[in-house]
Amino acid sequence: MIIIEKNEGKKVAYEVTGNKITFGDDEITLNLAKYERDEEVQVDICRNDENILIAGPSTFFVANVIIPARKYTEEHEPVPFSMENVTLVLWALIDRVDDREED
């Protein structure tokens, strides 16, 4: 897996097991082999206003998982999925500002 740290600061915890990547404290697990397509796929992992990790657009980027387009052999058979070709872009965690007014 290719790791890119987009900016400085603390990053989300993650663990890679086989073709799966888990973010946070077992909050989100993705089987990346299931996302492989004939074109590049990017899965955005974000944190919403309630500090919950979600896959998809939200308030704060945490990570981007970039899965390259599926490759084929000369016999037009798909090459087996490899985590070595996946790029993980990590963003610094932003401390959420509590904008509620104090009474």
Neighbours of 20 (CB within 10 A): 14
Q: What is the pLDDT of residue 1?
A: 96
Cβ atoms of 22 and 29 within 8 Å: the answer is yes
Predicted model pTM: 0.86
Q: Which two tokens stand for residue 96?
A: 């959420």
Task: State the average pLDDT for the chain.
Answer: 90
pLDDT in tens, 5-26: 999 999 999 999 999 999 998 9
CA distance 62 to 103: 32
